[in-house]
Structure 1
Amino acid sequence: MEAYARPRVVVSKCLEFEACRYNGDVIYNNVIKKLMDYVDFVPVCPEVEIGLGTPRETIRIVKKVHEHLLIQPSTGRDVTADMHSFTDNYLSTVTDTDGFILKTRSPSCGVKEVKVYASTEKGPAIGNASGLFGGKVADRFSHLAVEEEGRLNNFTIRDRFYTKLFTLASFRRVLPKGLDAIMAFHDNNYYLLMAYSRPTLKVMDRILIKAQENGERLTIELYSKALHKVFNRAARNDSNRNVAREIFKRFESNLSPNEISFFHELMQKYSDKKEPFSSITTLLKAHAVRFDDKKLLKQTFFRPYPEILLEISDSGKGRDY
C-alpha cells in the first residue's frame, strides 16, 4: 500500500499547541500529540481571535428567548456578534481541509453538550447546545471528519474518525489527477466502502460506470458527494461480517475443510462479541499474502490509517465495540 496522505485538520489551539485556555493553560492530549507526525494541523482559538486575551474571565452560553448569547458573566460583556463575525469570516477561508478536532464542551469550540444557562447569575445549566464556533463547523462541514478531543478517547469513535479523515485526505490527494486516479482510489477502498455502506457503494459503482456518458467533471462531483455520504454511520458488526465473507470467497476453494471451519468459528465468536474483528482481518490478510492476492493486499480495509496510531490497548477491540 502506498504512503498515507497527510490530512489537514483545524484544531483548537489550546490542545497541545498554545497556552491559550481561559486560565492560561495548555491542554496536553495524547491523541493529538501522536497525530502530529501524520497530520498537518491548523490551530485556532476563536476566543483569543475576538480579543478576549489569555488568561481571561470565563464566558458562557445564555439562552434569551430563542437565541443563544455568548456572555462573560463577570463583566456582562456580550461577545455573540464578535464570535459570529469571526466564525463566518474564518470558516469562509477553510479550504483543502479534511477535518476538525475541537475542544470538548467549550462555549466557543464545543460541537455538542455545551452547557446552556438561563442567565449570567450562578445557577445550574438548563440544557446543552453547540458552541458558537463548533456549531457552525458541524453545520458547514458535516461531510468532513469532525470530532471533539474528549470523544476521541473512545476507541470506536476514534477509529471511525481516523478512517474517515485519512480516506478523505487520500481522495483529496487524487482529485487533481483526474478520473483514472479516482477509479484506482475506488478499487483500493472497495471493501472499506462496502463495510460502511453497501447501498452507497452501489451508487458509487453506477456513477463510475456512467463516467463516459456524464463526463469527467460531473462524475467527479457526484462521486465526491457519495463518498462523503458513506461515513454517515459507522461500520457495524453485520456489515463487517458480510465484507469478511466476500473476501473469504476469494480463497475458499483453495482452503482445507479445517481452515474453512476455523474461519466460520472465528466469525461466530466475533458475532457473539467474544473475538475482535482484528482477528478476522489478520487471518484474511494472511490468506492474501499466502495466495499472493496483490489486488486484495492494496485494500485500505485492512488498515485505513497508519498502524502506529492504534494503541496496544486497542488491539482487543473491534470497529463496532
Structure 2
Amino acid sequence: MRAFTRPKIVVSKCLGFEACRHNGAQINEEIMPMLEKYVDFFPVCPEVEIGLGTPREAIRLVANGDEDQLIQPKSNRDLTTTMNQFADRFLTEVEEIDGFILKNRSPSCGVTDAKVYNGVEKAPVVRTGSGTFTKKVVQFFPETALEDEGRLKNFMIREHFLTRIFTMAEFRVIKKDPSSSKLMDFHARNKYLFMACHQDTMRELGRITANHEKKPMTEVFEQYEQGLRQLFARPVSVGDHINVCQHVFGYFSKYLTSAEKKHFLHLLDQLRKKKMPLSSILGVLRSWCYRFENKYLLQQSYFEPYPEGLVAISDSGKGRELS
C-alpha cells in the first residue's frame, strides 16, 4: 500500500463539524468522517464569520448586473461587501490548500447551484451560480479542486476530486525542497495516471522535468505545477482509461497465452460498453504486475491514486462504470 500525504481541505463547517446552518442544523454527510481519516480539514462558515449568528434570518443572492448582491431580505441588509472582505482576509491567511468542499445551494458557499433571484422579496429565480464566498475562492485559488458535498456523491466526480487532492498534496511536499531527482521520481510514478488525464499535457510535463534549458529548480517546479493543475481540468473518460490499460497490457502481452490476451481484450470491450467496472480491469493488470515482477508498474499511482479506505464510500449510483 502507498503512503499518502494528507491533503489540506477547506470545508463548509455545517457539513458535519458544527450546527451552524441558517436554521441551526448540522448536515451529517457520510463522506466527511471517512475523509477525516486521511485529510486535514479547515472548517469555515462564512455566514457566521460575518456576524449573522445561528440560527439566522435567510440570505439570498439578488441579480444586479455583473455582480450578484448578497442580501438579507428581512432586514434589507446588503452583505456583499462584508462577505467579500471576510473572504479576502480568510483566503489570504490560509496557505497550501489542496482543495475545497463547500455546501451546495448556499448563497455564500454554493459552487454552481446557488439560486440567484430577480429581487429581494417575492421574486423569481433567474439562474443559478456560485455563492459570494465561492467566487472569491475561485479568484484566490484558480485551478484548485473545488466541489460541493452533493456532487461528491457521483463516483466519477468523487474519484477525480480525490485523485486530484492527493496528487497535489504529494507535489506540495516535494516542492518545499525542490530537486531534479524528486521531480523525476514524482513524474515517473505518476506517468500512467497523467496519461489517463491528458496525454499531451503528460508529455509536456515530461519535457519540463527533463529541464534541457537548465532552468533553476524553483522555476521548473512552478512551471510543472501550472501544467499539473491544468492536467486535472476534467475528469478522466472511459476511453482515456482504456488507452492506459492498453499501454500497461503491452508490458505483458508477450508473456500471456492467446486465451489470456483474448479474454483481456474482451474485458476492455465490456468496459467500453459500460458493462464492466474499471476496478476489475485494474485488478487483472495488477495481478500481472506481481506475476511478472514488474516493479516499475507496481509503483504507478494509477493503480492506487488515493487511499483504498475511501473506495467504499456509497454514492448516487452515477458514474459507477468506473468503480
Task: Answer yes or no: same fold by TM over 0.5.
Answer: yes
Per-residue displacement from partner, 1:55-86 (whole Å, max 9, x unpaired)? 10000011234431111111111111100111
CA distance in 2, matches of 1:128, 1:312: 28
Aligned to 2:194: 193
| 2:18 is aligned with 1:18 | yes
Residue 317 of structure 1 aligns with an amino acid whose one-letter code is R
CA distance in 2, matches of 1:98, 1:312: 20
CA distance in 2, matches of 1:60, 1:175: 41
Aligned to 2:182: 181
| 2:161 is aligned with 1:161 | yes
Structure 1 window deviating more from structure 2 (89-98 vs 153-162): it is 89-98
**Contact 2:14/2:45 (CA < 8 Å) preserved in 1?**
yes
Residue 262 of structure 2 aligns with an amino acid whose one-letter code is S
Aligned to 1:307: 308
Alignment map for 1:117-156 (pairs within 5 Å): 117-156=117-156
CA distance in 2, matches of 1:313, 1:177: 38
CA distance in 2, matches of 1:209, 1:252: 30
Per-residue displacement from partner, 1:75-125 (whole Å, max 9, x unpaired)? 111111100111111111121110000000100011112111111212331
Question: Any gaps of 5 or more consecutive residues in structure 2?
Answer: none
Q: 1:52/1:280 Cα in 2 relative to 1: closer, same or farther (>3 Å)?
A: same
Structure 1 window deviating more from structure 2 (20-29 vs 211-220): it is 211-220
**Contact 1:204/1:226 (CA < 8 Å) preserved in 2?**
yes
Aligned to 1:287: 288
Residue 302 of structure 1 aligns with an amino acid whose one-letter code is F
Computed over aligned residues only, the root mean square deviation of the Cα atoms, in angstroms, reads 1.7
Residue 141 of structure 1 aligns with an amino acid whose one-letter code is F
CA distance in 2, matches of 1:266, 1:95: 44
Aligned to 1:38: 38
Instruction: Classify the secondary structure of the residue corresponding to 1:283.
Output: helix
Select which of 301, 317, 320 maps to 1:317: 320
Aligned to 1:50: 50
CA distance in 2, matches of 1:76, 1:266: 61
> Percent identity at matched positions?
45
TM-score, with length taken from structure 2? 0.95
TM-score, with length taken from structure 1? 0.96
Alignment map for 1:144-293 (pairs within 5 Å): 144-179=144-179, 180-210=181-211, 213-293=214-294
Instruction: Classify the secondary structure of the residue corresponding to 2:110.
Output: coil
Residue 235 of structure 1 aligns with an amino acid whose one-letter code is V
**Contact 1:111/1:148 (CA < 8 Å) preserved in 2?**
yes
Instruction: Classify the secondary structure of the residue corresponding to 2:214.
Output: helix
How far off is 1:140 after superposition?
2.9
**Contact 2:191/2:300 (CA < 8 Å) preserved in 1?**
yes
Q: 1:25/1:211 Cα in 2 relative to 1: closer, same or farther (>3 Å)?
A: farther
Residue 121 of structure 1 aligns with an amino acid whose one-letter code is E
**Contact 1:111/1:138 (CA < 8 Å) preserved in 2?**
no
CA distance in 2, matches of 1:192, 1:27: 34
Instruction: Classify the secondary structure of the residue corresponding to 1:177.
Output: coil
**Contact 1:278/1:318 (CA < 8 Å) preserved in 2?**
no
CA distance in 2, matches of 1:65, 1:182: 46
CA distance in 2, matches of 1:313, 1:285: 24
Structure 1 window deviating more from structure 2 (128-137 vs 211-220): it is 211-220
- How many corresponding residue pairs? 320
Question: Any gaps of 5 or more consecutive residues in structure 1?
Answer: none
**Contact 2:143/2:230 (CA < 8 Å) preserved in 1?**
yes
Q: 1:313/1:132 Cα in 2 relative to 1: closer, same or farther (>3 Å)?
A: closer
